[in-house]
Structure 1
Amino acid sequence: MTSKKIILKPGKEKSILHHHPWVFSGAVASSSGNPQPGETVEVLSSGGERLGWAAYSPYSSIRARVWSFDPDEVINEEYFYRKIEAAARLRTAINITKETNAFRLVHGEADGVPGLIVDCYPDVAVVQILSAGAEYWRDVLIDQVQQITGCKTVVERSDVEVRHLEGLPIREGLIRGENLPPRIKIEENGLHYWVDVIGGQKTGFYLDQRQNRKRIMALSKDREVLNAFCYTGGFTLCGLAGGARSVLSIDSSANALTLAAENLALNGFNPALNQWVEGNVFKELRTLRDRNKQFDLIILDPPKFAPTAAQAQKAARAYKDINLLAFKLLRNGGILVTFSCSGGLGRDLFQKIVADAALDAGVEAKIVEMLSQSADHPVALNFPESAYLKGLICVVG
């Protein structure tokens, strides 16, 4: 048993008893044993009740992330192997490879390994180490990912801002194997995509939108489609595969649009059916509005405007602006498919923002479907924050 402990303030054990894995700094009365960043500490109530084991993070407002709520658990290499193996069994159980050869293997807290993200591409695993605890066990976790997946090549994409909050430096690049190709070809729902796992967004591809891309296929037939924040063309290709009359795709990244055009060619689509526009999406939407341009289907998949709840109100303005403009660009009977991937913005607030945008745009709209992340990004019932991707399908008129 470790001599390193954190003791909670009176009444602050409630969330732990409900198996929420985060212990905030304001809930901690004291620590003992001089725990270092990432080390395992025992979590005790103010009355001395043993509540579980957590990774200590002295620099973060999330002071500890719980590994196990079992006071008798031993946190060691075997423990992490069991967790990653269980995550792999879940992906097998939901038959994820039936529709793709690129999927999320470990989804952080939702798979019982806070701070660890693992995405699997053909012969390549991409890991993100996001917390002090995962950093402490980094080499062990990477070894076990290799052992369980069989991937000889491992890429690290620990290049996100949350690492700064944990007191960790940015780290990215090839860490296991050699001769990583500049691009990896994946297959999803009958379409093929080139993925840049080193230079692309997230781990190279938005794997969490898989089912929603498939939904766009079903909605696109004979429609004029606008795909805003198109990245490497996922929704664009699905629109064309679904029989769209035309697609206008906008993104601010020239590199993303170059890869998007290659993806279009890879699948043999007629390039005349799609127009790529490089530019600020907010500005381009206003230009389209001023030109009285109209569409039958609009997809809004913006970047994370509100990573934390503290940024939600500021981000709300941006979400409202793009949705208001989209409503103005829709024909009567048109469809808006709108998303937020901001963890700091709840589903209820997002829906209210979209409702306010429709009101200000002077349109009547109905939600006909609610969307979420793909099944390989599971949502733990004890950790609602893992349900970060929120989507609405709205019909105007």
Structure 2
Amino acid sequence: MGAARPGAATPGDRGRRRHGTRGPGRSRRGDRDEPGADLRLRHPAASGAFAPGRIGLRSGRAPLPCLDRRPRGRGQGNTPLSPSTTPGPDDAPITPGPPLAVRVTPAAERAVRDGHPWVFENSIREISREGVSGDIAVLFDRKNRFLAVGLFDPESPIRVRILSAGSPAKVGAGLFRTRLAEALKLRRRLVDDPETTGFRILSGEGDRVPGLVLDRYGEGLVLKCYTPAWLPWLDELRSALDELLPSSVLAYLPSRGVSGSPATPDTLRTPVLLSGPPLDDGLEFLEGGLRYRAHPFVGHKTGFYLDQRENRARVRELARGLRVLNVFSYTGGFSLAAAAGGAPGVLSTDLSEPALREAERHFELNAGLEAVRSAAHETRTGDAFEVMEALDTAGERFGMVVVDPPSFAREKGQEAGALRAYGKLTQLALKLIEPGGILVQASCTARIDAESFFLSVLNTARSADRSLEVIAQTGHPVDHPVRHPEGEYLKCLFGRVPTAS
């Protein structure tokens, strides 16, 4: 989704100019609306201008260039540490300074005790000293009792991201091992499933590591930071990963905010392959036995939309015998699932030609499956709204239409426009669905709550005299847990249109 730069469309560009954009790495979808995520990260690699750098490795592991903790003025950069540089005293990884003592407002006290993972700038009443990004912040209540401990970020409105509340915890590899072990236990069914090797392992706030995401793609791991506060702790985080989750590839991605932060060393402003072979062909993984490829350095999110896994599985269950249209198709995740489920024909449409070429490669990767080999897969490049209007004018009809657009509401005040855009998509999709066919429509913004979104789709269908029979209303999968309201971004409706009377 999203508007492509002239002459530089990439697999990270997706199909809508007028109502929203989606660039490589979105909170989704800008990367979708994962809290704290940058909404649009464009990378020079998308146009072929950048070959992802690698830090020189020793025994498969390299020390990370961490923050220079010496006092500096706002906006002053860090001395870059290149792969060929011999680290000196000023370049060596360092440990954070003394913890900050932070006292917060009564309202913030209540929020933290209720499990909210953020403390905002205007919630801080008193702080012991001027902190720098990555400092440990120890929160106290009005009676000087321990409240929580987290990571400090002086550049963000979210000043402290909570790692542990209620009882003291030492920030470091031990705590990170605990969080990782808890996350793996929650995902045990996925970890033990040989047919699915792509899923989220750490989901930021949902796994009590706010501002950090870790995804598994087959034998590789992709780590994405949404705050520079994590950068001084990457070596200790890697120590926990090496112990509990060793991998052949580890890639690092910064969000747009981290890339542009004055607290970020130059060597961590762009994606870096921390260990493993070059990712020229991406990272291959399985989902329900189907072969997919993620492209961390040029694609959305960490390279693929893992959050839609369960919805793709449901499409696969429902698609037998139906011709399927996949709107905002990106690299064809829903398209391949529909074909594997027995859809005789699938049309994928997106603004990005490279994304559609990758969708075709996904079909090629799975040509050993009779159902995929037998499905007629077509692609069409263009603006999603315009393509749908053209299909209707041409009299094209489908047994299933999948509509998985960008968030449309990434900032406060955009909610009404987003709902209008969702309504327009519902109208266009319903015109293209045969009697008795299925609409699959998703939303990926936390600014539109589930009830408002579902009512928008259902009321639009009712107004069009095509009231939907709800098959399912879905939310977050198990590997994208939600612990606070701002984290609840994903919802999807499956509805059947009336049969002809």
Deviation at 1:300, TM superposition (A): 0.9
Is the Cα–Cα contact under 8 Å of residues 346 and 375 in structure 2 kept in the other structure? Answer: no
Q: 1:173 aligns with which of 264, 268, 272?
A: 272
SS at structure 2 position matched to 1:127: strand
Aligned residues: 395
4+ long deviations beyond 6 Å? none
1:387 — aligned with what?
488
CA offsets 1:301-339 (integer angstroms, 9 cap, x no match): 122333455543332232222122112222222211111
**Alpha-carbon shift at residue 75 of structure 1 (Å):** 1.7
User: Is residue 302–residue 339 contact of structure 1 (8 Å, CA) maintained in 2?
Assistant: yes
- Secondary structure of 2:478's partner? coil
Matching residue of 1:30: 126
| Residues 10 and 112 of structure 1: CA distance in aligned 2, closer, same or farther (over 3 Å) | closer
1:206 paired with 2:302, answer no
Higher RCO by CA contacts (8 Å cutoff, separation 6 or greater): 2
Aligned partner (choices 370, 379, 387) of residue 473 of structure 2 = 370
* Matching residue of 2:337: 238
Are the aligned partners of 2:173 and 2:239 in contact in 1 as well (CA < 8 Å)? no
Deviations along 1:319-369, one digit per CA (max 9) or x if unpaired, are: 222122112222222211111122332212211322343244342123221
Residue-by-residue CA offset, 1:157-197 (whole Å, 9 max, x unaligned): 22445765897584313122333342232222121123323
Q: Are residue 74 (structure 1) and residue 175 (structure 2) matched?
A: no
Higher helix content, 1 or 2 = 1
The TM-score, its normalising length taken from structure 1, stands at: 0.91
For structure 1, which segment, 114-123 or 166-175, has the greater mean C-alpha deviation from structure 2 after superposition?
A: 166-175
TM-superposed deviation, 1:53: 0.8
Helix, strand or coil: the match of 1:53?
Answer: strand
Asked if 1:315 corresponds to 2:426, the answer is no
Equivalent residue for 2:210? 114
In structure 2, what is the Cα distance between the partners aligned to 1:11 and 1:343?
A: 22
Q: Tell whether the 8 Å contact from 2:152 to 2:160 is kept in structure 1 after alignment.
A: yes
Q: Pick the structure with more strand per residue.
A: 1
Q: 1:98/1:356 Cα in 2 relative to 1: closer, same or farther (>3 Å)?
A: same
* 1:205-284 to 2 correspondences below 5 Å: 205-268=304-367, 269-270=372-373, 273-284=376-387
Change (3 A) 1:10 1:195: closer
The answer as to 2:233 corresponding to 1:137 is: yes
TM-score (norm 2): 0.73
CA distance in 2, matches of 1:254, 1:343: 29
Code of the aligned partner of 2:490:
L
> In structure 2, which of residues 183, 199, 206 is the aligned counterpart of residue 87 of structure 1?
183
Cα distance in 2, alignment partners of residues 374 and 205 from structure 1 = 15
Give the CA deviation at 1:220. Answer: 0.7
In structure 2, relative to structure 1, the CA distance for the partners of 1:72 and 1:345 (3 Å cut) is same
1:152–1:176 CA contact under 8 A, matched in 2: yes
User: C-alpha distance in 2, partners of 1:54/1:343?
Assistant: 24
Uncovered stretches (5+) of structure 1, i.e. residues with no partner: none
Contact 1:53 1:69 (8 Å CA) reproduced = yes
Which AA in structure 2 matches 1:353? S
Of 194-203 and 122-131, the range deviating more from structure 2: 194-203
Aligned residue for 2:293, secondary structure, equals: strand
Identity rate, percent:
31
Supply the distance in 2 between the matched residues of 1:310 and 1:164 (Cα, whole angstroms): 25
Could you tell me which amino acid in structure 1 is paired with residue 135 of structure 2?
A: E
